Amino acid sequence: MRIAVDAMGGDNAPLEVVKGCAGALDREQRLELIIVGKEEIIRDILQGYHSERITIQNATEVIGGDEAPVEAIKKKKASSMVVGMQQVKSGQADAFISAGNTGALLAGALLRIGRIKGIDRPALAPILPTVNGGAMLIDAGANAECKPVNLLQFGMMGSAYMKGVMGVENPRVALVNIGTEEGKGNALTKEAYRLLEKSALNFIGNIEARGIPEGVADVLVCDGFVGNVILKLTEGLAMSLFAQLKREFTSNTAAKIAASVLRPGLRRIRDRLDYKQYGGAPLLGIKGGCIKAHGSSDALAIENAIMQAVSFIDNNVEQSITENIQLEEKDG
Amino acid sequence: MRIAVDAMGGDNAPLEVVKGCAGALDREQRLELIIVGKEEIIRDILQGYHSERITIQNATEVIGGDEAPVEAIKKKKASSMVVGMQQVKSGQADAFISAGNTGALLAGALLRIGRIKGIDRPALAPILPTVNGGAMLIDAGANAECKPVNLLQFGMMGSAYMKGVMGVENPRVALVNIGTEEGKGNALTKEAYRLLEKSALNFIGNIEARGIPEGVADVLVCDGFVGNVILKLTEGLAMSLFAQLKREFTSNTAAKIAASVLRPGLRRIRDRLDYKQYGGAPLLGIKGGCIKAHGSSDALAIENAIMQAVSFIDNNVEQSITENIQLEEKDG
């Protein structure tokens, strides 16, 4: 299988991205990588590393983190992001990975790669840490405005992914809502509840945000506005709590000594909350795989994102999504 | 000043509620309380406590925590909640406090007390813990569906409250959104941004959920769906993190000893995250004061909620809200 990687995207590009590529090639022998970006720089980094399974695809432009997404995708045709996506569109690559501008990746995936037939809105779907592993949050920000049918499709895509890539047998799909009973919520969630309930999914009903960290669901369905708030608040609160712990635990010598004993436990908690362990957030509903690695990804995070794409391809997630949609269209 | 208290609402009613009433009377000499509920039970609890500043208002019914709100308010006319609200409506009391059914309190406040003229939608507005104190989250769940003008009014009400009750000189009002730049978000937040920007408020722009715990704003404006998700996720994540800390810190003897040294620091963090320190969540936009105490309130939390109502009355928050609205209507 062949995967294209945006060498120029993210805070630690290109060095960490290219190192992550090398790591993934060592881990997976069937893998071939197309590293997309400024050829000379990539060659410089790769000097010590040789593999027949690497192709460098030159791309002279870079889309910055704060550029307006749609404009950037339309104008910068020679950017590593656009060139990388063309590898998927043309069939040269099975998937594309980038740690760059999220908005540009979303816009580009729609404009340059295209949707799976029957999917109205692709969705960004990171794994959110929970006490017993992780749950997929879909949509986490690709669609600020949604219709009920979009939420139904998010449930289908999330379910297919959790089964295929994460190995969850019969993924429990929950609707994020402001009350657990049926009939709660706004017009969007009320109607989405009805659609999810009569679908073939393992729909377990509404979930309140309070219950999210408890891990009672495998797929958390919501519109992209709510999902983005959940994703960022989780990140912000965890950071804030760890900063407060650090302050308290370094306030005097006795505390410092005691904290050193507890460090392994604290590290376990912090690791559970760490995004990077899951690689990146897949963009589901796109033809071919597309994975958004965290902007602050290091080499290991990039390596994990590539392995995630390998699993995505191995388990035919795109095919499962297509089948789920066709099944629903026949029943609906 | 006279405040009506629902003796029958909340998990620890009536004992803790009545004890909280006694505590507040000791703390504030100008205070008179109307304790509303089953007279005999209240008299039993009060046996050891005498005060001329207590009136007991008999109410033979109780609205349960899981009753359908609107129906309960309409049917149970002799409930402590409805009778308590009538005290405000009739001018017998300046404010009403309940730890009971939140939905019933919201419905009852609209149906039995009534809105401030010019306010389209009253809002539930708890104080969310931040690293440097707290920020008002408005709306936290009274309105699952909102229009842009509602969000503008939430900003006005929150600003008036933070200035009057919390003593914040020029409250910084932020709009919860999925990006910091103007033009981000959904149709609701885009238009609300425009309204907030041209208002007389100290509007500081959009805030992403990641920034909420950092305390960069005093008033966090959002629709009730998003606000409810923020409130409950904050609660759920804090609970989950403390549970994980407890598990790690009791996993072996060395950890237990070390953790005992760190207990005061952990307690300080936990206290900062504790709702009860702020008493309750005001329902803003209602004629007279109305405060929702947390369902799990103990005597101290009830006492704090009563003192919060005292401050609400002392600082003429209702009047400030009315003036803000009139000013806006003149300009608008």
B131, B176, B257 member nearest A244 (Cβ): B131
> Do residues A175 and A80 both lie within one domain?
no
- Asked if A211 lies within 8 A of B236 by C-beta distance, the reply is yes
Q: Which pLDDT value is given to residue A275?
A: 65
Interaxial angle between packed helices A299-314 and A15-27, expressed in degrees from 0 to 180 and rounded to the nearest 10: 50
Residue B250 lies in a domain: yes
- Asked if B226 lies within 8 A of A228 by C-beta distance, the reply is no
- Asked if A244 lies within 8 A of B214 by C-beta distance, the reply is no
Q: Is the pLDDT of residue A163 over 80?
A: yes
- Asked if B240 lies within 8 A of A213 by C-beta distance, the reply is yes
> Do residues B229 and B271 both lie within one domain?
yes
> Do residues B109 and B183 both lie within one domain?
no
- Which DSSP string do the residues of B136-189 spell out, in sequence order? EEE-SSS-SS--HHHHHHHHHHHHHHHHHTT--SSPEEEEE-SSSSTT-S-HHH
Which residue in chain A is spatially nearest to B270 when comparing CA positions?
A: A241
> Do residues A187 and A63 both lie within one domain?
no
Closest approach of chain B CAs to the CA of A277, in angstroms? Answer: 18
> Do residues A105 and A94 both lie within one domain?
yes
Judge contact between A308 and A282, C-beta under 8 A: yes
Mean per-residue pLDDT, A151-156: 98
Residue A135 lies in a domain: yes
- Asked if A236 lies within 8 A of B185 by C-beta distance, the reply is no
Residue A200 lies in a domain: yes
Residue B269 lies in a domain: yes
Judge contact between A73 and A45, C-beta under 8 A: no
Q: Judge whether B213 is closer than 8 Å to chain A, CB to CB.
A: yes
Residue A306 lies in a domain: yes
- Asked if B261 lies within 8 A of A255 by C-beta distance, the reply is yes
Which residue in chain A is spatially nearest to B141 when comparing CA positions?
A: A178
Domain that holds residue B79: 1-116+285-315
> Do residues A4 and A39 both lie within one domain?
yes
Residues 6+ apart with CB under 8 A from B32: B1, B2, B3, B53, B54, B55
Q: What's the whole-number average pLDDT of chain A?
A: 94
Last-in-domain residue among B249, B276, B303: B276
> Do residues B218 and B165 both lie within one domain?
yes
Question: Looking at the DSSP assignment, which residues form a beta bridge with residue A284?
Answer: A123
- Asked if A233 lies within 8 A of B234 by C-beta distance, the reply is yes
Least Cα distance to A235 among B222, B245, B208 occurs for B208
Closest approach of chain A CAs to the CA of B305, in angstroms? Answer: 23
Closest approach of chain A CAs to the CA of B41, in angstroms? Answer: 32
Mutation site, B67, B233, B270, interface A, largest A CB count within 10 A? B233
Q: Judge whether A50 is closer than 8 Å to chain B, CB to CB.
A: no
Question: Looking at the DSSP assignment, which residues form a beta bridge with residue A273?
Answer: none
Which band of pLDDT confidence, cut at 50, 70 and 90, is reported for residue A132?
confident
In order along its 332 residues, chain B shows pLDDT tens digits of 999 999 999 999 999 999 999 999 999 999 999 999 999 999 999 997 889 999 999 999 999 998 999 999 999 999 999 999 999 999 999 999 999 999 999 999 999 999 999 999 999 999 998 988 899 999 999 999 999 999 999 999 999 999 999 999 999 999 999 999 898 999 999 999 999 999 999 999 999 999 999 999 999 999 999 999 999 999 999 989 888 888 888 888 988 998 888 888 888 888 887 766 677 999 999 999 999 999 999 999 999 999 999 999 999 999 999 998 888 877 65
Euclidean distance between CA atoms B54 and B49, whole angstroms: 10
Which band of pLDDT confidence, cut at 50, 70 and 90, is reported for residue A276?
low
Mutation site, B237, B249, B266, B274, interface A, largest A CB count within 10 A? B237
pLDDT tens-digit series, residues A166-178: 999 999 999 999 9
Q: Judge whether A256 is closer than 8 Å to chain B, CB to CB.
A: no
Q: Is the pLDDT of residue A122 over 60?
A: yes
What's the token pair of residue B241?
A: 């993190």
ipTM: 0.93
B225, B235, B262 member nearest A178 (Cβ): B225
Closest approach of chain A CAs to the CA of B263, in angstroms? Answer: 10
Q: Which pLDDT value is given to residue A328?
A: 81
Residue B328 lies in a domain: no
> Do residues B23 and B88 both lie within one domain?
yes
> Do residues A126 and A227 both lie within one domain?
yes
Domain tally, chain A? 2
Name the A residues in 176-195 with CB < 8 Å from any B CB. 176, 178, 185-187, 189
CA angle B201, B113, B58 (to 5 degrees): 135
Name chain A contacts of B187, Cβ cutoff 8 Å.
145
Q: Hey, how many other C-beta atoms are within 10 angstroms of the C-beta on B89?
A: 17
> Do residues B248 and B295 both lie within one domain?
no
Mean per-residue pLDDT, A108-127: 95
Q: What is the pTM of this model?
A: 0.94
- Asked if A210 lies within 8 A of B232 by C-beta distance, the reply is yes
Which residue in chain A is spatially nearest to B242 when comparing CA positions?
A: A241
Closest approach of chain A CAs to the CA of B62, in angstroms? Answer: 22
Name the B residues in 271-310 with CB < 8 Å from any A CB. 272
Judge contact between A321 and A116, C-beta under 8 A: yes
Place of tokens 């238009």: B191
Name chain B contacts of A211, Cβ cutoff 8 Å.
236
> Do residues B78 and B219 both lie within one domain?
no
> Do residues B49 and B170 both lie within one domain?
no
A214, A229, A268 member nearest B178 (Cβ): A229
Q: Which pLDDT value is given to residue B276?
A: 67
A144, A208, A261 member nearest B258 (Cβ): A261
In this structure, what CATH number is given to the domain that contains residue B124?
3.40.718.10
Residue A201 lies in a domain: yes
Residue A76 lies in a domain: yes
B91: left (phi over 0), alpha (psi -120 to 50) or beta: left
